[in-house]
Structure 1
Amino acid sequence: MDNVQLAGSVNERFQYYEKLVAELTMMSDMFMRNVLNILECAEYVLRVITENDDLELTEVVVQKDYKNLQGRSAILDCVAVNGRKEIYDIEVQQEKAGAIPKRLRYHSSIIDVHSLYTGEEFEKLPESKVIFIVDEESDAGVEPILHIKRTVRETGGDYNDKSEIIYINARMKEDTELGRLMHDFHCTKAEDMYSEVLAKRVRVLKETREGVETMCKEMDKIYQVGEECGKEKGKYETAMKLLELGAREDMIAEAVGHSVEEIKRWKNDMKRQ
């Protein structure tokens, strides 16, 4: 790769971004959002995960901002709603450290808080599913998918509060519909994907000028945020975001002008946070 750093001109930055776009997969939250912002793609993913071929979505919002005036707010990757007003939150994480049980619980609760109007009956609270697709197995088990619901300890029965957390081990690429979906989430090329629905969108984002420019503009927003943080801190913030996107350590090192060893140290620091 040419010696292109993010500190260079806009054209130099975009040359770097184009190379990075070619390596992105749907395990990158930013790339996943740009795939699932097409209703048909989000619908396909949810049909596979829920094993419901009749599921039909009416709305998809990416980077849904849930404000909390009393505490911590949250921006969710992809929030979808079906015809019965049931809510789905789809998140991807490279490591299980970003998908601890209390975070999943918080996502579920913040959706609930924003689902009722003042004075509305609790019975109107919609059914919700918080789905985390993680590139590591859960501490709770090695199954490819875990469905987590509240139960009554004394009877073992379902508490039936209509909320569910689904944890998917993205590394489990078995010869099942879910396994093939996880395979597609790891593909860098549309031609290698099983699903033509997803491949069609990936092709647009990676193989058309309009799609590549869309992704480059999103990446430049990350760079601009880093610039606002100050020179050195900005490099750190940019590197952390690129790590979350799944960029290679050597590419990040070249982008921010640091050694690969320094990037690895930052990555280890991030894991400990």
Structure 2
Amino acid sequence: MPAAENKKYLDIIERLRPFDDIFMRILFKDNKELVQRILNILLNRTDIKIRKYEIQKDMKQILSRSIIPDIVIEDTDGNIYDIEVERSAKKAPVERLRYYASVLDVEYAKKSIKFDEIRNIHILFITEEDYYHKGYPVYHIQRTIKELNHCPFKDRMNLYYVNGQYRNQDELGYLMHDFSCSDYQKMVIEELRESVRKIKTREKEKQEMCELLEEFAKSERAQGRLEGKREGILEGKLEGKREGQREEKISLAVNMTKMGFNLETISQALNCSIDSVKELLASKKLSV
């Protein structure tokens, strides 16, 4: 990897936070103790023990929309947890929780399962902004029976919105502070601080992050060249080349936005102004 490219990626890594999707993949990889600690904090518990977990598990559906949950966890009692991290509340609508719940139900139901053996499922969406703007640390969503004085329905489905803006002096407040922090030295949760420190200071982990960023960039450059060639056939080689370069930037800007990067980081990666990034995103009716 060229030195200039490597430095660019290292600069990006310095600004990444646990809220950033691409950083989260490395942070929680082979880090069972950290995932277990975070899960217990989110649910205000201390007794959850993880049996196994997967990051970005591709749950393919043949006749319907597939999903790729951020972190899917199974505890030692067989309960299932899905932790989703979203910078924008707009990307975490209630319909998405509903659909994820249905896919997880099917994914973890064996053909011979009895209905009373269906797993307890917990879906937690951590959004950087307060989803309901009411200041609560967590919003618990459970079905109730209206005619029975809102008695719990007990369908074993538990949905949560976690407020990423919550900053009280308790473990959840510290965790949300740390999720928004790029400087590991300012983090409060010890396990999270140490894991971030390793990624940002040890050569092996930094190189792994650089390679992940490079792989992502290559994918977007290839897509940009392909779109440019198509335009070149229609508009001529010169115009196609210019359009290809623009499409490459648009494609990269869009995908970095979807992965949670902010405008400043995207503008530095594309070597253009923040206003130019906004213009590129606007062409696809997106914003950060």
TM-score (norm 2): 0.86
Q: Which residue in 1 is equivalent to 2:232?
A: none
Distance 1:200 1:239, change over 3 A: same
Mapping for residues 180-219 of structure 1, pairs under 5 Å = 180-219=174-213
Distance 1:204 1:51, change over 3 A: same
Mapping for residues 124-273 of structure 1, pairs under 5 Å = 124-139=117-132, 141-155=134-148, 156-231=150-225, 232-267=246-281, 269-271=285-287
**Contact 2:126 2:162 (C-alpha < 8 Å) held by counterparts:** yes
Shift of 1:241: 2.9
What's the CA shift string for 1:76-96, capped at 9, x where partnerless?
A: 111111001111111111111
**Contact 2:80 2:119 (C-alpha < 8 Å) held by counterparts:** yes
Q: Distance in 2 between matches of 1:250 and 1:130?
A: 31
The answer to whether the aligner puts 1:19 opposite 2:11 as a matched pair is yes
**Contact 2:224 2:251 (C-alpha < 8 Å) held by counterparts:** no
- Structure 2, unmatched stretches of 5+, are 226-245
The answer to whether the aligner puts 1:33 opposite 2:47 as a matched pair is no
SS at 1:164 equivalent: strand
**Contact 1:25 1:186 (C-alpha < 8 Å) held by counterparts:** yes
Q: Distance in 2 between matches of 1:195 and 1:239?
A: 32
SS at 2:70 equivalent: strand
Q: Distance in 2 between matches of 1:176 and 1:31?
A: 25
Shift of 1:248: 4.4
Q: Which amino acid is the alignment partner of residue 193 of structure 1?
A: M
By relative contact order (CA 8 Å, sep 6+), the higher-ranking structure is 1
My pick for the range that moved more, 242-251 or 147-156, is 242-251
Q: Which residue in 2 is equivalent to 1:123?
A: 116
Q: Which amino acid is the alignment partner of residue 20 of structure 1?
A: I
Q: Which amino acid is the alignment partner of residue 260 of structure 1?
A: I
State the aligned residue count. 264
Q: Distance in 2 between matches of 1:134 and 1:205?
A: 23
Q: Which amino acid is the alignment partner of residue 266 of structure 2?
A: I
SS at 1:230 equivalent: helix
Q: Distance in 1 between matches of 2:166 and 2:101?
A: 25
* Superposed CA RMSD: 1.9
Shift of 1:105: 1.1
Q: Distance in 2 between matches of 1:135 and 1:55?
A: 25
SS at 1:154 equivalent: helix
Q: Which amino acid is the alignment partner of residue 255 of structure 1?
A: A
Q: Which residue in 1 is equivalent to 2:62?
A: 69
